[in-house]
Amino acid sequence: MRTGYSQLPLHGGKAPQWLFQKMTRLAREIICHLVAEYGAEGALKRLADPFWFQAFGCILGFDWHSSGITTTTCGAVKEGIKDLSRELGFFAAGGKGAISRKTPQEIVSHCEKTGYDAEKLVKASRLSAKVDSSAIQDSYQIYHHAFFFTHSGRWCVVQQGMNEASGMARRYHWLGDENTDFVTEPHTAICCDHRGRALNFVARESKISRSRVTEIASQPNLEVEKVMFHRPELIMPRRHWVRSEDINPKYLHKILLKTYEQAPTDFEKLLAIQGVGAKTLRALALTAELIYGTKTSVRDPARFSFAHGGKDGTPYPVDRENYDTTIEVLHSALNKAKLDQSEKRDALKRLTKFAEKTPPIDNKNLK
């Protein structure tokens, strides 16, 4: 269900080292509390909630509305729990840029220590990234991919793409397990600056299109080449996802030979084939529309800080003393020997109720 959307403008600079160190310590304490109270899967569920995640980033002291809140928050969690992962049963992999490409190796490394089947988790990581970069073509290029998982095999993905033209970001949230459907409305949420038209293969209404595209990819490529090489004869609609200059016939021929040899039986297997990306899917979608009259959805799936301050001084500069106090209180509360587990839970519940009753700060009155 669409619940709203959030703006994530691009801000320059990065979190200073002193602030990131504090974010790492506080993120560790919060994750430890979440696991103690709700279990490792409860922590996953909250990271997959876009509103909870945004509040989490604000509590850590990052800019309350910038795109950097995603990369910095995920980085702080990963760094904070790296020595506690096995104890917590909660693991983190991936990150920004080149680090995101190391996600499969990091997953395998964690699983070698736990004995869990890494192949299923690696598949989830790769397919979730492929869906948001190729199956959903919304002009946002994925540059950050964070993958969190537990001993039970449940996982959460928080990844983000950037639209270079607008300088805005789009964040994609996933929550899944080994039974996750990757091709029919798989996200828990997508947060973005605006909604528009996108070539959306994972929309529920694209079911027939997925079937046709898979069928075409499994057949000799004569029909596809016939359509593509004669495209000057076509009256092309003015939509960015079917621009003829985006499709190179020679490259398409090479990829179609690969898909024909592997003969995918469903859209998920087609999406998993190496080399099948956004341009290939656009060409196949166009061909399916011309041959079968099958249209792919163009519905955009996008749905929708005041604790310690923010690094840019908004709504006020980071209060370092208050920040350290919060870390110490959380750490002591969890480890104090005099409190048993039931008392800890009651204390946290009282804290939550108090926070819910506290009226929100009016931004307009802040100076």
Is 229's pLDDT higher than 70? no
Question: Residues with Cβ < 8 Å from 34, sequence gap 6 or more?
Answer: 42, 43, 46
| φ, ψ (nearest 5 deg) of residue 30 | -65, -45
Q: Are the beta carbons of 310 and 64 closer than 8 angstroms?
A: yes
Give bridge partners of residue 95 from the DSSP assignment.
145
Q: What is the mean pLDDT of residues 56-81?
A: 83
| Per-residue model confidence (pLDDT) at position 181 | 93
pTM of the shown model: 0.72
Please give the Cα distance from 310 to 62 (Å, whole number).
5
The average confidence (pLDDT) of the chain is 77
Q: How many CB atoms lie within 10 A of CB 195?
A: 16
Is 232's pLDDT higher than 90? no
Strand 199-200 and strand 136-137: pairing?
antiparallel
3-7, 220-224, 268-272, range with greatest mean pLDDT? 268-272
Strand 141-150 and strand 168-176: pairing?
unpaired
Domain regions of the chain by residue span? 1-198+300-367, 205-292
Please give the Cα distance from 200 to 281 (Å, whole number).
10
Residue of higher predicted confidence among 335 and 236:
335
Please give the Cα distance from 182 to 191 (Å, whole number).
18
In the Cβ-directed half-sphere of 177, how many Cα atoms lie within 13 Å? 8
pLDDT classification of 77: cutoffs 50, 70, 90: very high
**Nearest-5° Cα angle at 79, 73 to 85:** 110
Q: Which amino acid is at 152?
A: S
12-21, 132-141, 161-170, 195-204: the lowest-pLDDT one: 12-21
Please give the Cα distance from 92 to 94 (Å, whole number).
7
**Nearest-5° Cα angle at 162, 157 to 168:** 115
